């Protein structure tokens, strides 16, 4: 029977509780035998039933090997003996018999200690894996934040250059008042687009900063928890810290601009073409995760799109050698027409 407050008993109760919650209150017989019954009783019954655990002698087989073997009995008399192992402590208590001899109690204590160490090892490994994932997420968040900041700086520089160029142009009186109003509306629309893009990048940068701060806090908490668990392990079972593997080099994707892409440039202004080529080269160096490009796969086909500006999208396909075929530059509003044309080719 379990004694509340004893560390080994608390660990066994915790293990059973986690399994019951995981399986909606169902506890397999093998789990109950492994956690509740002393390993000496499992070995004795396995020897009595002439069982042969794979890869172990019965005298040295652990409970995790014997329990499933015993729980798999199909003979009613054998299963009765197996289930009786779970009721032995209760029957002894009712009959007033001593619960366990000194030798059995010592063996049970050793088995409980081994189970406790195994549980600590599993918990420590889980926390190490979670810590590694948190570190990788924090690193990716930092990279995205830096990339977003670079893109925002680039857009701000483009805006300053364009405003400076507009201010340096000599003022000419238009032939008609409607031409002046149209020009002014066009400039206001362009300025509004750039300001919207800057606001979006600022919001994305702020969200990445918050996520990065959260990931760093999570990393520190996991490191403290790992240290606490490592201090509970025996010194002989503590693993030495291994140096992290070197980062893999970033592969550059070579863009192949197809004739359909050059044809789609007809009627596009130079600034739009520059932005499209810059976006393609940025994808080839940074990859799918770059936040400003909004790379996504089109549904129902193997075509991808990336964002060149607020109103322009570049469509491409992956090649077998890892490079890309750049298919077309089109307005965002014409996406359905463009995809239908690409699908029909």
- Is pLDDT above 70 for 73? yes
Pairing status of strand 296-297 against strand 255-257: unpaired
pLDDT at position 237 is 65
pLDDT at position 4 is 42
Banded pLDDT at 3 (limits 50, 70, 90):
very low
Mean pLDDT of 248-263: 85
50: alpha, beta or left? (left if phi > 0; alpha if psi -120 to 50)? left
Mean pLDDT of 147-174: 73
Q: Which residue has better confidence, 331 or 110?
A: 331
pLDDT at position 79 is 85
Number of H helices, E strands in the chain: 10, 5
pLDDT at position 214 is 82
pLDDT at position 24 is 77
Alpha carbon distance 62, 60 (integer Å): 6
pLDDT at position 273 is 92
Report the mean per-residue pLDDT for the chain: 79
pLDDT at position 72 is 85
Q: What stretches of 265-344 show up as alpha helix (H) in DSSP?
A: 270-286, 335-344
Mean pLDDT of 263-285: 92
Give the range with max mean pLDDT: 63-77, 80-94, 266-280: 266-280
Give the range with max mean pLDDT: 112-126, 160-174, 196-210, 227-241: 196-210
Mean pLDDT of 29-58: 84
pLDDT at position 53 is 84
pLDDT at position 5 is 44
pLDDT at position 313 is 93
- Is pLDDT above 80 for 57? yes
pLDDT at position 265 is 92
pLDDT at position 80 is 85
pTM: 0.34
SS3 of 318, please?
strand
pLDDT at position 247 is 57
Long-range contacts of 326-332, Cβ-Cβ distance < 8 Å, separation of 24 or more:
326/255, 326/256, 326/257, 326/258, 326/261, 326/280, 327/258, 327/260, 327/261, 327/303, 328/260, 328/261, 328/264, 329/261, 329/264, 329/265, 329/268, 329/272, 329/273, 329/276, 330/264
CB atoms within 10 A of CB 165: 9
SS3 of 269, please?
coil
Banded pLDDT at 244 (limits 50, 70, 90):
low
Mean pLDDT of 132-148: 83
Banded pLDDT at 1 (limits 50, 70, 90):
very low
Mean pLDDT of 289-305: 84
Mean pLDDT of 126-140: 84
Residue 228 tokens, joined: 């606490």
Alpha carbon distance 43, 67 (integer Å): 10
SS3 of 255, please?
strand
Give the range with max mean pLDDT: 55-64, 191-200, 241-250, 276-285: 276-285
CB atoms within 10 A of CB 150: 13
């Amino acid at each position: 029977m379990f004694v509340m407050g004893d560390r080994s008993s608390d660990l066994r109760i915790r293990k059973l509780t986690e399994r019951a919650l995981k399986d909606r209150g169902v506890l397999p017989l093998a789990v109950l035998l492994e956690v509740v019954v002393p390993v000496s009783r499992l070995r004795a019954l396995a020897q009595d039933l002439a069982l042969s655990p794979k890869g172990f002698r019965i005298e040295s087989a652990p409970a995790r090997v014997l329990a499933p073997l015993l729980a798999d009995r199909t003979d009613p008399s054998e299963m009765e003996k197996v289930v009786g192992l779970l009721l032995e402590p209760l029957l002894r208590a009712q009959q007033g018999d001593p619960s366990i001899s000194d030798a059995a109690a010592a063996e049970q204590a050793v088995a409980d200690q081994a189970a406790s160490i195994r549980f600590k090892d599993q918990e420590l490994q889980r926390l190490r894996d979670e810590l590694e994932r948190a570190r990788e997420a924090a690193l990716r968040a930092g990279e995205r934040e830096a990339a977003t900041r670079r893109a925002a700086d680039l857009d701000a520089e483009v805006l300053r250059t364009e405003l400076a160029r507009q201010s340096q142009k000599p003022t000419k009186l238009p032939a008609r008042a409607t031409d002046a109003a149209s020009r002014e509306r066009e400039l206001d629309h362009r300025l509004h687009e750039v300001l919207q893009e800057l606001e979006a990048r600022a919001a994305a940068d702020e969200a990445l900063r918050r996520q990065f701060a959260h990931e760093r806090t999570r990393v520190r908490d996991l490191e403290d928890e790992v240290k606490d668990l490592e201090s509970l392990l025996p010194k002989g079972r503590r693993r030495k810290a291994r140096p992290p593997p070197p980062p893999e080099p970033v592969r550059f994707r070579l863009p192949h601009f197809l004739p359909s892409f050059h044809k789609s440039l007809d009627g596009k202004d130079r600034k739009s073409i520059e932005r499209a080529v810059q976006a393609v080269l940025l994808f080839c160096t940074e990859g799918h995760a770059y936040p400003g490009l909004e790379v996504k796969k089109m549904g129902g086909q193997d075509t991808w799109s990336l964002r060149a500006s607020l109103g322009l999208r570049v469509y491409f396909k992956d090649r077998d050698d890892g490079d890309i075929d750049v298919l077309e530059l089109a307005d965002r509003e014409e996406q359905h027409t463009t995809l239908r044309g690409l699908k029909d080719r």
